[in-house]
Amino acid sequence: MIQRLTDKDFQKVTSTGVTVTDFWATWCPPCRMQVPILEETAKALDGKVKFTKMDVDANPDTPAKFGIMSIPTLVIKKDGKVVNKLVGLHSKDQLEHVLAQYTD
């Protein structure tokens, strides 16, 4: 399951463990293509990684804070610190490979 975040709850929800936040917008075709891939990856990594998403149009503060200029962008945090940022569409295999670095 992918949890929707807002500017208000982003910091609290992503402050512990390994989290992936998908910064997206409804008008973005690659963003829509990324959703089913994230859902599959979330099922495969259930319990190891928390998957979240944030609409950049409805929540402009957090994307600005992280310097997000292109979407989709996936921000990976471990224990509240950004450890990786992936820009563009990524496959399940690519995501699992990257996330393996941060999960034990």
Q: Which residues are known catalytic residues?
A: 28, 31
Strand ranges, E, within 18-67: 18-24, 49-55
**Phi, psi angle pair for 87, to nearest 5°:** -105, 135
Q: Following CA atoms 87, 44, 12, 8 in sequence, which dihedral angle do they give, to the nearest 10 degrees? A: 60
CB 57 within 8 A of CB 1: no
Buried b vs exposed e over 17-35: b needs ≥16 C-beta within 10 Å? ebbbbbbbeeebeebeebe
